[in-house]
Amino acid sequence: MRTVSRSMTNQPRPGRLPRGMPGVKPQNMKGTLMRLWRMTKGSRRGLGWIFLLSGLASGSAILCPYLIGLVVNRIDGGNPVGQMIWLLAAVYLGDWMIRFMQQFHMAAVGQRMIYHIRTSLFAYMKKLPLGFFDARQHGELMSRLTNDVDNISTTISDSLTQLIMYAFIITGIFCVMVWLNILLTAVAMLSVVLIYLLTRAVTKRTRKLFREQQQILGELNGQVEESISGLTMVKAFCREEAMIEQFRANNDRFCEVAVKAQIWSGYLMPVTNVINNLNYVLIAIVSGLMAVAGSLHVGLISSFLLYSRQFSRPFVDIANIYNNFQTAVAGAERIFEILDEQTEPEDVPGALQLTRPKGAICFKNVTFGYLPGQKVLNNVNLSIPAGTRVAVAGATGAGKTTLINLLTRFYDVNDGAIYLDGHDLRRYRMKDLREAFGVVLQDTSLFGVTIRENISYGRGDLPLEKVREAARIAGADSFIQRLPQGYDTVLTQGGAELSQGERQLITIARAVLMDAPILILDEATSSVDTVTEQHIRKAMLKITEGRTSVIIAHRLSTIRDSDLIVLVEDGRIVESGNHQQLMKLNGRYAMMYRTQMGLL
Amino acid sequence: MKLMLTYIRRHPGMFLTALFFLSLETAADLLQPTMMSFIVDNGVKHQNTGKILEYGMIMLGITAMGALGAVMRNIYATRTSQQIGREMRLDIYRKIQTLSFENIDRLQPSSIITRITNDVTQIQNFINGSMRIMMKAPIICIGALILIIWQTPRLIPMLIIILFVSGLLIAGNMKLGYARFNRLQQRLDRLNQVSREFLSAIRVVKAFQAEKQEEEKFRDASMGLAEAGVSAMRVMAVFGPLINLTVNLGIVVLLRISETQPPGEIGKLMASVNYMTQVLFALGMVSFILNSAVRAVASSRRVAEVLEEVPAQVNQGSDYAIEGSITFRDVSFSYAKAARPAIENISFHVYAGETIGIIGPTGSGKSTLINLVPRFYDAAGGSILIDNTDVRQIDMKKLREQIAVVPQKALLFSGTVLENLRWGDEGASMEEVRKATDAACATGFIMALTDGYDTRLEQEGVNLSGGQKQRLSIARALLRKPKILILDDCTSALDAATEAEVLKRLRQEAGDMTVLLISQRISTVMRTDRILCLEDGRIQGMGTHKELLESCTAYQAIFDSQIGEEWSREPDSGIKEHAVRQIEIETDEKSDIGWTAGKTQSRKGRCGL
């Protein structure tokens, strides 16, 4: 099927710049984060609990070093530790309980959030128009649904709660430290400033690198997918080596970017650790000097050393968390990119209901192209009275499938309008409209479920008898019966174990079961043998009795019986009439017909 | 694990260098509390400012050393792990290329994709982590313990208890975590499969208003993944805090024991408490590392599964120049999952240069039959001979180089039109390419594309119509100048006029090629030298059009369905007389329309766009 070409996908879409371009303006970090926060709506209560527990956990983190300092003081003074030690043990026990509860709870909250974001992304994606899917690699979209969502959610659930906990710890410890000794607090603050500067310098570089890394990864996935689905040809043409070369090139490119991104982000942890050590040293020296001067008790040194570790460790982790944010924000931007896509047009206010339309279709001056400036259909006018069997014939690429794409509103016309029962298609509710059409498409899309479920696809659970009836009409019953599990045979995705013709029969049965007022068959029997096709045709004659049907077929034998045959050429309708009329006309249709009969 | 080690072993220098710098970094961490205790015990206690500054300077020096170690370690660890990831991806990809369809069917395409991406990343992160924290944790642990013992030997029993309890906890974590993370990975596979299915069936989903249903499916898969995630995380939630508690209680005991400490060694006590917190930190890391190790092991097992997959076919043949005759000797074949054989006891012979039409109802085994010739699959019973040599005796690459296949579903790749065509012959001149596209009636539409031959095709050529793809795929095959040309109903998406023209030109191009032509249409096969009529995987008849019309009931039925009926319907149209005459001419005299005769003739005709 025809789709939007590359030139279109390369154009910058509103709201974002092309990826990987040098000198790209920094992405909107704050805006992205705000949007992310809004996505956590459903999980906020759970998050609230976690925050509360985090607060409690930080309480013990603040308390313990102080208690230890007191104990050390007592020991230093030669006094018994007494009750103090039991208090410390109690605090530790409480700390354990809280941590356990917090982590246990967080597992559920975090996963629920992932689930929520992922399913809402999918729910949005399913509303996007066909053009969106046609213009993108599937592997790349899949990586957004899995990797990117994971990254985001881990960041929110794990990192955010850690962040909250650290906020408590930092303020708590800061207060205690100030209370204990201001000068030492100032020394401890030094490391914080250093860590902040470092983090800023690093993250500035990494965000772009991470984005680039994710993008190349998507491409890499795309190539893997392509080479697996096209493996037959790779083997037939002995292209294994060439494919490997190509993969190697992409892989190297990925590795290069990834190394850069990882090295830069990897600096955060160790260097902040070094800063920490530096801090430890400074506190040791300064407090030592102060103790000598007699302005400080030894127990306080102990508390301070523990505090300074605890105080700056959050900063190490914050740096690390910030680092994770890079990946997550880059992923979030890719997800929002999808969420910013235009969905299929909403129904107009007061959209018309459509229940079992009569099926009078009218194309009026319809012009359409998949790309701006391109005209696949050019001023098409066609009137199909209700209940007519219409056949569309014409060369490949003449625009036959496009007619269908417009009729089912997979795409909307650029100019002109299509009317169904006298009203513009766009005035109907989309749901009703799609329900009005039973469509059998050229591409057979089968799912990895049983044959029975494949046939009743979109219709829910139906009794086997109804499914069989449809299959019988479609001529699929006999081959299905011959399968060892019959209707319960589970297909692999795409139905690889069936022949193309068998797959087509199943998709026909699917449409038969739908029992829609208007039937559309786009090359539905191109791979079915002609004996079977004849059976189907006869059955179809019965089904289409009194219904409007549009058939696209190459085999003119399939469409001979149609009430109206339309010949499309270069996006225009060049001949129309029934078989006899067109044969008499002795024009392009007559020539095609004779070719097919083996007469030319 | 074994897999990871083999890859690490390929870069011993880099890996060891990273470890060296890591040790340097860790040593700096470890020495700080000891130096601090010197400050307290030697400086503060004795009111000696000079000593405090002296030890302070040493500490600064140590910090600088740690900084050097940290920076260098980061560079080496990252490079090593990325290098390993890169090699692993390439190896998997390379392996996939050697696998046969049987293997791919078994491994499932969507699962292969997650393995090459997610799993490798998982392993890569683990290896990187191992050079960052994983090695650091034991070093800190052991180092800190030694230093504590060195300063206060009385603590040995307590330390042993702490280690024993932590060890138990870590082992428990490991045991429970492994299965759960494994399941997590499987659920991820499932999610990928569901979304892949949705994306490739998007048209049907929309046409059948099945968005809800697909969403349900996706929800289920996401839910399954989330549940597996929760249960995996909860294992961590149980064990992590317990390890924490163990070490913290250690600190309490330490302080309690130290009550009776000689007062001059207060610095040592402080250092010990510091070391305990370092041990705690390290043990916390250990459980974290083990959890990611569990993941990495699961991943590496899945990667190893691909790397260890034994190609279902062996290639041990020799070079061989094909002349073109094909013999099937009592050949049977069934697909792995199917209950009934796809073809059964097939025997026939094709002379070099002959054109054979293959016709038969859907599912009669036509495609299976021809898939065996270039060895996409190997016959289960019987043998296939090319020029009296079993295909299994011919080097697979050489065999396939001399056979060109045009499949029913045209498979194209992202790249330019020209690049796709040159799959047939990489060194083909523009002139040759042009000739091939002419023969496939493709030149016209290619020139109409924005960049002609240099137009880029998206993945799988989605920006072309089915017919255009088929014609490109025909041109690609012709460019190969094969000895055997296999056309598997490859004109099904073409309209009749274009199809007729393509077939006519193919006849001219065929030269002395052996051609196997699968088609549904009588009009397509009736001009071949002989026709093989299949039904239910068995041969119903083989012979010329005329012979089959007389003797083969299956063939007659097909004929009636396509042409015969027409005769009775329009008796005056002259079609019947014309057709019969035509067929007689073709079969008896090999008119210019027949395949064989066509090879010497050339006629210009119209190509559809």
Task: Report the CATH number that the domain containing residue A266 is assigned in CATH.
Answer: 1.20.1560.10
Residue B31 at interface with chain A, using a CB cutoff of 8 Å: no
For A319-324, what is the mean pLDDT?
67
B348/chain A closest Cα distance in angstroms = 23
Report CB contact under 8 Å: B116, A224.
Answer: yes
User: For residue A345, which residues of chain B lie inside 8 Å, CB to CB?
Assistant: none
CA distance readout (Å), A11 to A14, A18, A226, B456 = 9, 8, 24, 15
**Nearest C-alpha in B relative to A108:** B230
Q: Which residue has the higher pLDDT, A109 or B599?
A: A109
For A486-498, what is the mean pLDDT?
80
Lowest mean pLDDT among A403-407, B76-80, B566-570: B566-570
User: For residue B39, which residues of chain A lie inside 8 Å, CB to CB?
Assistant: 284-285, 288
Average pLDDT, chain B: 81
User: For residue A435, which residues of chain B lie inside 8 Å, CB to CB?
Assistant: 209
Assess whether B304 and B420 both reside in one domain.
no
pLDDT at B595: 53
Assess whether B125 and B274 both reside in one domain.
yes
Residues A348, A341: contact at Cβ < 8 Å? no
Q: Which residue has the higher pLDDT, B50 or A596?
A: B50
A439/chain B closest Cα distance in angstroms = 6
Assess whether A452 and A566 both reside in one domain.
yes
Assess whether B301 and B435 both reside in one domain.
no
Report CB contact under 8 Å: A95, B244.
Answer: yes
pLDDT at A291: 83
User: For residue A119, which residues of chain B lie inside 8 Å, CB to CB?
Assistant: 215, 218-219, 222
Is there a domain that residue A34 lies in? yes
Q: Which residue has the higher pLDDT, A592 or A564?
A: A564
Report CB contact under 8 Å: A96, B242.
Answer: yes
> Is the model's pLDDT at A10 over the cut of 70?
no
Which of B252, B277, B308 is the endpoint of a domain? B308
User: For residue B585, which residues of chain A lie inside 8 Å, CB to CB?
Assistant: none
pLDDT band at A23 (very low <50, low <70, confident <90, very high): very low
Residues B538, B344: contact at Cβ < 8 Å? yes
Q: Identity (one letter) of the amino acid at B109?
A: P
Is there a domain that residue B231 lies in? yes
Distance CA A345, CA A347 (A): 6
Is there a domain that residue A562 lies in? yes
**Nearest C-alpha in B relative to A408:** B207
Assess whether A333 and A445 both reside in one domain.
no
Strands B389-390 and A389-394, bridge-based pairing: unpaired
The CATH number covering residue A537 comes to 3.40.50.300
Assess whether A380 and A316 both reside in one domain.
no
A364/chain B closest Cα distance in angstroms = 23
**Nearest C-alpha in A relative to B583:** A598
Mutate to test the interface with B, among A143, A235, A504 (most CBs of B within 10 A): A235
pLDDT tens string A511-556: 888 888 898 888 777 667 777 777 777 777 777 778 899 988 767 7
User: For residue A510, which residues of chain B lie inside 8 Å, CB to CB?
Assistant: 208
Distance CA B558, CA B521 (A): 9
Q: DSSP character for B361? A: S
The domain tally of chain A equals 2
* Among the partner residues A274, A446, A595, nearest to B496 by beta-carbon distance: A595
pLDDT at B107: 78
* Among the partner residues B63, B207, B563, nearest to A597 by beta-carbon distance: B563
> Is the model's pLDDT at A11 over the cut of 50?
no
User: For residue B276, which residues of chain A lie inside 8 Å, CB to CB?
Assistant: none
Is there a domain that residue A5 lies in? no
**Cα distance from N-terminal residue to C-terminal residue, chain A:** 29
For A265-274, what is the mean pLDDT?
78
> Is the model's pLDDT at B567 over the cut of 70?
no
Token pair listed for B11: 């870069």
Q: Which residue has the higher pLDDT, A7 or A376?
A: A376
User: For residue B540, which residues of chain A lie inside 8 Å, CB to CB?
Assistant: none
The CATH number covering residue B224 comes to 1.20.1560.10
Which of A273, A306, A339 is the endpoint of a domain? A339
The domain tally of chain B equals 2
Distance CA B570, CA A165 (A): 87
User: For residue B242, which residues of chain A lie inside 8 Å, CB to CB?
Assistant: 96, 100
Which of B423, B454, B481 is the endpoint of a domain? B481
pLDDT at A323: 63
Assess whether A422 and A329 both reside in one domain.
no
Residue B14 at interface with chain A, using a CB cutoff of 8 Å: no
Report CB contact under 8 Å: B193, A448.
Answer: yes
The CATH number covering residue B459 comes to 3.40.50.300
A321/chain B closest Cα distance in angstroms = 16
Is there a domain that residue B522 lies in? no
Assess whether B420 and B303 both reside in one domain.
no
CA distance readout (Å), A95 to A46, A90, A161, A302, A303 = 20, 9, 16, 21, 18
Assess whether A461 and A523 both reside in one domain.
yes
Is there a domain that residue B608 lies in? no
Is there a domain that residue B71 lies in? yes
Is there a domain that residue A19 lies in? no
For B332-359, what is the mean pLDDT?
86
Strands A548-552 and A564-569, bridge-based pairing: unpaired
User: For residue A457, which residues of chain B lie inside 8 Å, CB to CB?
Assistant: 204, 208, 210, 213
Residue B184 at interface with chain A, using a CB cutoff of 8 Å: no
pLDDT at A499: 73
Q: DSSP character for B59? A: H
pLDDT at A319: 62
pTM above 0.95, yes or no: no
Report CB contact under 8 Å: A110, B562.
Answer: no
Residues B158, B293: contact at Cβ < 8 Å? no
What single string gives the DSSP state of each residue in B253-294?
HHHHHGGG--GGGHHHHHHHHHHHHHHHHHHHHHHHHHHHHH
The helix (run of H) or strand (run of E) holding residue A410 is none
Report CB contact under 8 Å: B249, A92.
Answer: yes
- Burial class of residue B460, CB neighbours in 10 A (0-12, 13-18, 19+): buried
pLDDT at A417: 93
pLDDT band at B602 (very low <50, low <70, confident <90, very high): very low
Which of A339, A373, A405 is the endpoint of a domain? A339
Residue B54 at interface with chain A, using a CB cutoff of 8 Å: no
Residue B550 at interface with chain A, using a CB cutoff of 8 Å: no
Assess whether A103 and A66 both reside in one domain.
yes
* Among the partner residues A107, A118, A226, nearest to B237 by beta-carbon distance: A107
Assess whether B79 and B220 both reside in one domain.
yes
Q: Give the residue from B44, B211, B146 showing the smallest Cα distance to A431.
A: B211
For A62-73, what is the mean pLDDT?
83
Assess whether A312 and A417 both reside in one domain.
no
B224/chain A closest Cα distance in angstroms = 10
Assess whether B242 and B95 both reside in one domain.
yes
Distance CA B563, CA B551 (A): 17
Distance CA B119, CA B306 (A): 12
Residue B284 at interface with chain A, using a CB cutoff of 8 Å: no
Report CB contact under 8 Å: B466, A80.
Answer: no
pLDDT band at B162 (very low <50, low <70, confident <90, very high): confident
pLDDT at A157: 66
Assess whether A299 and A198 both reside in one domain.
yes
- HEC string of B507-523 equals HHHHCCCEEEEECCCHH
Distance CA B356, CA B526 (A): 10
Is there a domain that residue A345 lies in? no
Assess whether A456 and A330 both reside in one domain.
no
> Is the model's pLDDT at A275 over the cut of 80?
yes
Distance CA A161, CA B512 (A): 74
Domain containing B176: what range?
A: 2-308
A152/chain B closest Cα distance in angstroms = 15
pLDDT band at A599 (very low <50, low <70, confident <90, very high): low
Assess whether A523 and A453 both reside in one domain.
yes
User: For residue A377, which residues of chain B lie inside 8 Å, CB to CB?
Assistant: none
Residue B6 at interface with chain A, using a CB cutoff of 8 Å: no
For A155-176, what is the mean pLDDT?
79
Is there a domain that residue B69 lies in? yes
Dihedral sign for Cα atoms in the order B63, B68, B74, B76 = negative
pLDDT at B566: 53
Residue B132 at interface with chain A, using a CB cutoff of 8 Å: yes
> Is the model's pLDDT at A138 over the cut of 80?
no
Assess whether B23 and B160 both reside in one domain.
yes
Mutate to test the interface with B, among A298, A316, A396 (most CBs of B within 10 A): A396
Is there a domain that residue B41 lies in? yes
pLDDT band at B357 (very low <50, low <70, confident <90, very high): very high
Distance CA B81, CA B87 (A): 10
Assess whether B272 and B143 both reside in one domain.
yes
- Pick the most confident of A45-49, A287-291, B399-403: B399-403
Lowest mean pLDDT among A586-600, B23-37, B368-382: A586-600
- Pick the most confident of B120-134, B319-333, B404-418: B319-333
* Among the partner residues B241, B337, B497, nearest to A395 by beta-carbon distance: B497
Q: Which of residues 568-597 of B touch A (CB under 8 A)?
A: 575, 578-579, 582-583
Q: DSSP character for A555? A: -
Report CB contact under 8 Å: B203, A441.
Answer: yes
Q: Using CA atoms in the order B232, B238, B242, B243, what is the torsion angle rounded to 10 degrees?
A: 0
Report CB contact under 8 Å: B273, A68.
Answer: yes
Residues A330, A165: contact at Cβ < 8 Å? no
pLDDT tens string B262-310: 656 778 888 888 888 888 778 777 656 766 777 788 788 888 888 888 8
Is there a domain that residue A137 lies in? yes
- Give the angle B260-B264-B266 at the CA atoms, nearest 5°: 70
Residues B457, B463: contact at Cβ < 8 Å? yes
Residue B201 at interface with chain A, using a CB cutoff of 8 Å: yes
- Burial class of residue B409, CB neighbours in 10 A (0-12, 13-18, 19+): buried
Q: Between A and B, how many CB-CB pairs are < 8 A? A: 537
Report CB contact under 8 Å: B226, A111.
Answer: yes
Is there a domain that residue A512 lies in? yes
pLDDT band at A565 (very low <50, low <70, confident <90, very high): very high
Is there a domain that residue B6 lies in? yes
pLDDT band at B607 (very low <50, low <70, confident <90, very high): very low
pLDDT at B262: 63
Average pLDDT, chain A: 80
Is there a domain that residue A4 lies in? no
> Is the model's pLDDT at A497 over the cut of 90?
no
Lowest mean pLDDT among A525-534, B4-13, B43-52: A525-534
**Nearest C-alpha in A relative to B271:** A302
Is there a domain that residue B348 lies in? no
pLDDT band at A9 (very low <50, low <70, confident <90, very high): very low
Token pair listed for B468: 């255009």
pLDDT at B261: 60
Q: Using CA atoms in the order A384, A388, A394, A398, what is the torsion angle rounded to 10 degrees?
A: 40
Which of B481, B503, B522 is the endpoint of a domain? B481
Distance CA B82, CA B72 (A): 16
pLDDT band at A397 (very low <50, low <70, confident <90, very high): low
Assess whether A517 and A563 both reside in one domain.
yes
B39/chain A closest Cα distance in angstroms = 7
Residue B497 at interface with chain A, using a CB cutoff of 8 Å: yes
pLDDT tens string B78-107: 999 999 999 999 998 888 888 887 787 777
Domain containing A369: what range?
A: 361-596
Assess whether A392 and A316 both reside in one domain.
no
Mutate to test the interface with A, among B29, B89, B204 (most CBs of A within 10 A): B204
B90/chain A closest Cα distance in angstroms = 6
A270/chain B closest Cα distance in angstroms = 5
User: For residue B499, which residues of chain A lie inside 8 Å, CB to CB?
Assistant: 554, 595
